[in-house]
Every structure is written in structure tokens, then in C-alpha cells.
Structure 1
Amino acid sequence: MNSTSLESAIAEWTAILGKSGVRSEDIADVGVSTIGAKRSIPAVLQPQSPEQVAEILKVAQQYKVAVYPVSTGNNWGYGSANPVEDNCVILDLGGLDRISDFDPDMGVVTIEPGVTQSALRSFLDDHGGNYLVPVTGAGPTCSILGNALERGYGITPITDHFAAVTKIEAILPDGTLYRTALSELGGGEVDGLFKWGVGPYLDGLFSQGNFGVVVKMTIALAPAPETTTAFFFSTKDDAKLEALVPTVKAVLRALGGSVVAINLLNSQRMLSMMTPFPEDKAIDGVLPAQEVEHLAQTHGVPAWSGVGAIYASKEVSRAARRTLRRLLGPVTDRLIFINQSRVNTARSIARVLPGKLGTRIKGMADTLSGALEIMHGTPNEVALALAYWRSGDLPGPGQPKNPARDGCGLIWFAPLVPMRGKDARRYVDMIERICPQYGVNPLITLTTLNDRCFDSTVPLLFDRKDKNATEQAKACYRALFEAGQKEGFLPYRLNIDAMDSLQTDGSAFFRFASQLKASVDPNSILAPGRYVPRFKRSEV
């Protein structure tokens, strides 16, 4: 891309979108990210319809100007609104925020990229939709569509969010509208009810790919159950992890359908939700083992904590609680069940208790209430507080949290871990060995994706104002990735600075992906470098 091409493209984009739809000045805020990455961004385009997206891509092809689509840009810990490569024009799809074709009988709804978790929740509440929003801990302002395309997940009944996607409409790099075969044949309704359609399954190309701009997505929603009961369990003995993991697997297999996902959290991850980071106790940014033990004892935090939810009728819920007691009892020190009624009781008790005890009980009740809201499919900011543990300025009361804007330093390392006790131990040892070498505290969560595999989310938290700390965190990610390659623990999702790790010489998979990319986007104008490595002319 040269300056003349860019100027010509911007002139045509302005004719399409109007002056208010093209930003080329005062856009420094667009590139702010928690991972400390900063790309050169020449302009931001803000279309309001799929038709405008198609016209934008035609212009991009004509002038060979690269564009990078984002839904809301709130991709905390992975790069926010930054492109993989410099000099990409940002295609801000936040203005495509319509919700349509909601079928309350079938439980499917069609959304555009700018539809957030909170927007879908409000829509369902207003339209009598007794369904759960596929929420994540990323917060109310994050895109439903963007999270599904990145294969995000949650602990609500449809754990795998891309699995809930039944139909996609996208604009291909040449401006052509892509629809699946059933829709092309006139079967738009059944297309939205059946994920696989007919013929080759091509929708998957748009998940963690750069083959088109998804402008509409139909998703299946989980119906709200008669009861939702959270359960919490813990063990004080770290050595019980190997026994706890197969027990979690047994729970999922015994209670599949009513218990769909379970989180395991180590003591440091729990402490990050309960107490401010004790900077004065840290050595080179890392809490010593004795300090972690002291904080854990002070706050009653065990070696491992677990959380899950029962989604079921009252009768099934009672039976599930009996099964959980039977399976988890031998390997845990505590197992409790919480619903909103018990949280309300705790709040009432807190109001009459004196001083710090009352404050502590109220804080615990507020945290539990936030967790229950997420389990009920209602987004909130409870989990976002994690991003502020090492840096960042918490916004005032009533102001939304925005970790990128507020100065937080966060990079997610999110590898897959086989659900075996010995593999979980190998993995935990790897994290606890490597993170402290780079000034990063080893905060570990293991989330069940199914009854065979965990995804682990390790937040690499650092002081973003400190350039050295930022570089150390990035080095920590690289060290974890390389160690994970050797140990078999590879991420399911990458941040923008890690995309080059997919440049694997001789890989048939990536050669094929690059050949497909070259066939639909020969000028590589759409999100270059995102998951699919740049193709070599000799390979196409």
C-alpha cells in the first residue's frame, strides 16, 4: 500500500459512508490494548449495513489496501482492536447491531457483529425470550458474534459458543455475499435450525480465519431451566489435584445435561478475586510462596477451588446434588450449594453484623450474586476485576470497566489440557515453573470444555506503564508457548503478537489454508496474517 492508494481509497470510502463514517485523525484510542501491542492504523471505517461492508471491500481490492474487521474491539488480553499487521485500516462493525429473526418457539436468533452480551439480554427480556445469553467473563460490552468466531466458551448450558452457531452470512473479500447452500436454495428457516446444512461445511472457515467478514450469525439459545444452583467445592491439599481431575470427569459423565462445565482455580487465582495485590510483599513482581500461604490462610483460600452449576428441574436438581456429594465428597474438604435465596439471606445477615465481619460477608454475597447472574445468562463485570489486579485505574462507581482504556496489563495464555490427573499436574508444574521467571504470578484456571479436555486460562498480569514489565510478560508468553509445544499443551486461541507462531514450514494444514486464502483473497487485503499465514506464490 502506498499513500496515493490509501488517499484514493479513503476518498471512495467517504463517498460510501459519509464523513462521519471515516476516521483518519484522533484515532490513537483505537489501538490501545491490554497486551501492550500498538499497530500503525491509518484509518477507521464505520459502516452501518452489510451492503456498505461489501462496497468497502470492493474499494479495498481495487486499491490493494488491507482492512481488519473488529466487532466491538473489546478483545481483552488478545489485542483489542489492533490488527495483526501494521497499516491495516480498521473495519469497525459496531454499527451493525441489529437483532432479528428471533423465534421464541425454536430458541434461535440472528445477530450482527455489534450486538453485545448486554444488548442480547435486554432484547430477550423485552421480547419474552426465556433463554440464556451465551455470556463470558469478558463483560457486557463484548460482542456475541466475535466471541463465537473466536470459539469462546462459558459455563452456561451451551458451553462451546461456536457450536451454537447454526448459520452464517458473510461478505467475501471481493464483496460477494456468502450464504450457505440451504439458504441459497430457499431453506433459510431450516438452515437456522440445523448447523451442518448440506454439502461441504464452509461456515467453519470464518471461525478463526480471514476468509470473509461475518455480518450476520444465527445462534441457538439455551432455554432457561426451572432451577439454577451453583456448587462450590475445595481441597486444602494440593496433592489431591490428581484425584480431583478424574472426579470432575466422572461428574460430567454422570450428570451430563444438568452439569455442563466446571472450573478449577488454584489459590493464587482465587486470591486475585479477593484481595488487592500486596505490592510491598512481592519480589520482582512475584509473591513468594510464604506470602501466598499467609494470604490464603488469612482469607480462607484452599489449594484448589471448584465451581459449577446445576441446570435442571427441581427433582433432577435434588438428584444431582446427591450425586455430587457422592462423587466429590471423597476428594474435597467442602461442598456447598448456593442459589439466589441463600445469597439474599447472607446479605440480610451482613447488614446486622458489626464492622469488618459484616463487610466481608457482604462482599462475599456480592461476588456470589455476580457469579449466579453469569450462570443465569446475565452478563456483568465481576470477572473483569481480575485485569486490574496488577495495574490499571478502576473506574468510578457506575462507570463501565474497560481494561484497555484503564491501563491494565493482561495477556491471556489459553492452552488445552487433557483431562487426566497426571497431565493436569504436568501442566500446573510447567506454569508454576515458568511464570515467576518473568515476574508473572501463576494464576491458573482449568475449565472443562467437555469430559475429555480442559482449556486453561492463565492471565499474565503486569504493569503496563513499565516497559520492562511489558516485555517480560511477552517473553513469558513465548516461553509458555514453547514449553507447551514440547509438553503437548497448545493454545486454542492466539493473541495478535503470537500469530507468527503458526508459520510452520512444511505444514500441509497451513499450506492448504494459505491456498484457500489465495483463491478468495489474492491481494491479501482482509485481515492479513490472522491465523492463516501469508501464502507464498510458489505454493498457490
Structure 2
Amino acid sequence: MPVINIPIQSAIDEWTAVLGESGVSATDTADFGASTIGTKRSIPAVLHPTNQDQVAKVLQIAQRWQVPVYPVSTGNNWGYGSANPVEDGCVILNLSGLDRISDFDPEMGVVTIQPGVTQAALREFLDENEGDYLVPVTGAGPNCSLLGNALERGYGITPITDHFAAVTRITAVLPDGSLYQTSLTEQGGEEVDRLFKWGVGPYLDGLFSQGNFGVVVNMTIALAPAPETVTAFFFSTKDDAKLEALVPMVRSVLRALGGPVVAINLLNSRRMLSMMVPFPEDKAVDGILSDHEAQLLADTHGVPAWSGVGAIYATREVAKAAKRTLKRLLGPVTDRLVFIDKRRVNAARKLAKVVPQRWSTKITGMADTLSGALEIMHGRPNDVALALAYWRSGALPANGQPKNPARDGCGLIWFAPLVPIRGSDARRYVDMIERICPQYGVNPLITLTTINDRCFDSTVPLLFDRSDASSTARAQECYRALYEAGQKEGFLPYRLNIDAMEFAYPGDSQSAKFASQLKTAIDPNNILAPGRYVPRPKNPEAL
């Protein structure tokens, strides 16, 4: 049980008067302290507001007693800290009870959501309200917050790839409890404000993305309309040496088909194996599959050196033309290019019922995997990709229980650097990952996802045995080693975990000073998410 000091206890007493007994948890904070990155923070209490007014009163009380609070949407920030704050001693502000969906405009395709609205909740809402739009899904699972992901600048493979780019309007409670709204809304222009991202004057909404300047309680997002057809395409090359030729062709595809094809994933063989087979403990040495063992496993399961996946969102006529373009551009640099839609998946399921058992099991497994991928591409969330977190540790939940990697003991830290879409840069980057990860007992699983036609975001899951303190420490050391090597090579992360916030700014840079000046002006007592992205001023008097 955390030690409760006098200011915190006084604040808890006032918060209880506002939120009720059930709205304050001061003794049972273990669920919020679980984290896939292996870090444990001291959390004095968890607050559970259910509306905007309560959030404002919570912050006013926090200011009065100078008790730091750390807001989370659903707390499912797997691989980046889950619900843990950056610093010890912060009270968790659990916003999952703010789960209202409002102002849905089926004609314009915009909707307003609160922090507790999950991918699954929005999908259900749209289905019930004849909303023929795609949910901006991610691989994190159906129970994760849309608002939280957008504020962290998450992305997906559906048409609006950059999720913060889809944000058109933000309402936030500032650290003193006052309300932030955009100028257009304050002038009575709520309608146009929901339809136009930038408003008028300085773009202040951006401060709330990867910032600690306020608690976002409402966010309007633009949704991508469901297209006439969604066709997945898969391609591969058996020769690792073709990577340098494949990467610029991916860029060419995006430039030629920027409307129908919005994003492409490239995955190395180890990353593909992590999706297909249980981790072969008997073949690993110190938790690592040697290059020889990895190749044997890849050969056994027919896994190529590099696999790619994307989707065509278009009318039937445009989709036909897009397929021809994909064949022309990717054909010379790949060994295989196939197109899959729901009709073909259903045909595979029918085939599985009439072939011998040894083939039926394999075909059914393939159909299930493809079906999960297609659901994501159709803007329907599932937890298929979340199984990755369980590859090295943690037993998959039984009886259809939802996956929760933090609760289930999984060890996962995401390293997510940006990489230019150039063949030479991709090779330098892959060499860096493959050189460093095994030194720390981490298998080099690599995904390169196009953010636009110029830049990849690479997600490297540092998977480890969280029950082993040594394995946990080595994974954390691996992250630091990757960051330091990436800084030298020019591959810097776009998103940081709670133990890596020191990397947001370089030392005493002007950008760090500017961010700290803004924070000091808005939150002089530094009570809101201290240390999150914005550095503490080293010499407040100098500001």
C-alpha cells in the first residue's frame, strides 16, 4: 500500500467529496501499475471522473494541494508504459468513464468522442447509426482509446493513416481547471470548426498532442468513408539483397496510387515468424534464435526474407487499374504478389472442409489470419496483432477473455524510429537493428510502415521475459543502445515510452527551453503529467 502524505490525503478527501467513494481508489492501484515495459511507479491513488466538470474540479484540487496527476484514457498504452506515469507519486486520472460519442454527422463524416471511447465502441456506434465509415483502427486491440492513440500520433493502414491528422477540433481542461476551446468554436462557429482542422490564428490544438498542457475531454475526428471495395495485397521476396530495390518501389507505389493505396508494411522473416509459430524455446540460446535456426524455421514454414502488405481502397474499376499498376511496379522486385478479398477468404474456408485433414488445418489457419487482417483493413478492430506481445512471455487468455499484455505478464517495449524511404537508409537501419538487438537477448523483429511517401515508421518490439529481472533490465538497456545508435545514424523515434522522455529534446536546446516556457506559463506548479515529453525547467528563475 502506498504511503499517503498529508497533502495527498487532504486532496483525496476533497476528490472523494467530488467523485464519491467509488470515484477514488487509494488502496488498490495494482492494475494501473502493471506495465509491459517492466517499470513500476509509485501510484498513491486512482481517480475515476465521469464528466468534464469533475475533471475540472479534480485539477483545481490538485493545484490547491500541489499534488501531481497523470491522465490516461484507457491505460492500454502497451509497450510505452501502459497506465504508468512518467514520475513516481502521481495520482492517476482515469478518463475511461468519459465514454460519450456525440455530434455524429453522417453526411460530413465527422464525430466527437471522449477519452474512454474505444475502437470497438465507435465501431458499434457506427453500425447502429448506419455510419458507413471506417474506424481508424490499430493493432493494439478493440479496447484501446481512439483519443489517446490520436494524441500520441498513432497511425494505421486504413485511408486516414495519420490519426492526429484526422483530428479537427479539441476541447481540453487546462491545469487550473479552466476550459480550452478553439477560437472558431468560441465565436459560435462549431459547425465549421468540426469540419476544418486549422481554425484561425496559431494552431494551439497541437500543444495537446504529445504534450502535458491540458486534459483533452472531447475530440472531433474525420472518418474515412467505407469504399466500394477493399482488396488486400501481399508480396514477398526470398532474397534479402533485394531490399534496396524493393524500398524505392514501395515509394513509387504510394506516389502512383496515393488515393487507393495509402500505406504499406514491410516485415522481415523473424517478424513474420512471430505471427505464425510459437516461440521455439528449445532452439533459442539466451532467448535468441541464431541466424541459422531462424532460417531453418523460415524455410520450414515458407517464410520469405521480406513480406509486404497493403490494401486498395477504391471502386471496382479503380481497383482493377491499381492491381495492374502494382504488378508493373512490384513485379520486377518481388517473387510473389497476390490479391485477397473476403470472397477469396470464404472460398478458402469452403476448400478446407473438403480436403484431407493435414491440409485442412493449414488452410483454416491461413484463412483465419487473412480474415483478421481484412477486418482491420475494413476498419473493424480485433486483437489478432496483439498476440505478438505474448510471443516471449505471458500465456494467452483462455475462454475468449480479452488480451491484456500488462495484466498477463508480457514483456514488450516498442522502439519506433523514423526511417527515410530510401534503399540505402533501410539497409543501414536493418543492419543496426540486427546488430544490436541480439546483444541484449532480443530477437530483431522489424516492421517498416509507410507514414507517407517519404518516411517509414519502424516498429521493433523488444520482447522479453518480464518475470526475469535480468531479461527485463537487458531489454531496457537494448532500448537505450538502439536510441544512441539511431541518433548517430539519423533514425530517431517519433514516440517515447515513460522511461525515455529524456530523449524528447537534446539537452539544453532552444526547443526544450521553449516547451518549458509554455509549460511554466500554463502549469506553474507542474501538477499535470510532470515529465511527459516536456522537460522540467532546470532553472525556473531564468525563465
TM-score range (shorter-chain normalised) is over 0.9
In the alignment, structure 2 segments of 5+ residues that lack a partner are: none
2:263 and 2:222 mapped to 1: Cα distance? 18
Asked whether the 8 Å contact 2:496–2:504 carries over to 1, the reply is no
1:505 and 1:114 mapped to 2: Cα distance? 35
The Cα offsets for residues 257-279 of structure 1, whole Å up to 9 and x where unpaired, read as 10000000000000000000100
Task: Among all aligned residue pairs of Structure 1 and Structure 2, give the percentage whose two residues are the same amino acid.
Answer: 76
| 2:540 match | 537
Alignment of 1:142-221 (within 5 A): 142-221=144-223
Asked whether the 8 Å contact 1:166–1:219 carries over to 2, the reply is yes
Asked whether the 8 Å contact 2:161–2:263 carries over to 1, the reply is yes
The Cα offsets for residues 340-398 of structure 1, whole Å up to 9 and x where unpaired, read as 00001111111222233211110010000000000000000110010010000111132
Give the letter aligned to residue 240 of structure 1. Answer: K
1:189 aligned counterpart, secondary structure: helix
Higher mean Cα deviation, 350-359 or 249-258? 350-359
1:537 and 1:242 mapped to 2: Cα distance? 49
1:451 and 1:88 mapped to 2: Cα distance? 40
1:352 aligned counterpart, secondary structure: coil
The Cα offsets for residues 21-79 of structure 1, whole Å up to 9 and x where unpaired, read as 00001221210011001000000000000110000000000000000000000000000
| 1:434 match | 436
| 2:269 match | 267
Asked whether the 8 Å contact 1:168–1:203 carries over to 2, the reply is yes
Asked whether the 8 Å contact 1:69–1:213 carries over to 2, the reply is yes
Alignment of 1:208-357 (within 5 A): 208-357=210-359
1:538 and 1:258 mapped to 2: Cα distance? 54
2:284 and 2:4 mapped to 1: Cα distance? 49
Among 352, 357, 360, the residue aligned to 1:358:
360
| 1:105 match | 107
1:65 aligned counterpart, secondary structure: coil
| 1:452 match | 454
Alignment of 1:360-375 (within 5 A): 360-375=362-377
The Cα offsets for residues 493-539 of structure 1, whole Å up to 9 and x where unpaired, read as 00001012236332000100000000000000000000000113134
Q: What displacement does 1:88 show? A: 0.1
Structure 2 length as normaliser, TM-score?
0.99
1:159 and 1:443 mapped to 2: Cα distance? 22
1:388 and 1:505 mapped to 2: Cα distance? 36
Q: What displacement does 1:110 show? A: 0.1
1:238 and 1:539 mapped to 2: Cα distance? 54
2:308 aligned counterpart, secondary structure: strand
Asked whether the 8 Å contact 1:515–1:539 carries over to 2, the reply is no
1:201 and 1:273 mapped to 2: Cα distance? 41
2:480 and 2:541 mapped to 1: Cα distance? 30
Q: What displacement does 1:421 show? A: 0.2
Structure 1 length as normaliser, TM-score?
0.99
1:439 and 1:496 mapped to 2: Cα distance? 22
2:96 aligned counterpart, secondary structure: helix
Among 35, 43, 51, the residue aligned to 1:41:
43
Alignment of 1:386-397 (within 5 A): 386-397=388-399
| 1:425 match | 427
The Cα offsets for residues 2-33 of structure 1, whole Å up to 9 and x where unpaired, read as 81111110010000000000000122121001
1:385 and 1:78 mapped to 2: Cα distance? 17
Give the letter aligned to residue 495 of structure 2. Answer: R
| 1:63 match | 65
Give the letter aligned to residue 209 of structure 1. Answer: G
Asked whether the 8 Å contact 1:511–1:539 carries over to 2, the reply is no
1:329 and 1:539 mapped to 2: Cα distance? 60
In the alignment, structure 1 segments of 5+ residues that lack a partner are: none
Q: What displacement does 1:165 show? A: 0.0
Among 404, 409, 433, the residue aligned to 1:402:
404
**Which 4+ runs in 1 deviate beyond 3 A?**
none
Alignment of 1:127-142 (within 5 A): 127-142=129-144
2:114 and 2:402 mapped to 1: Cα distance? 22
2:46 and 2:485 mapped to 1: Cα distance? 38
Asked whether the 8 Å contact 1:151–1:207 carries over to 2, the reply is yes
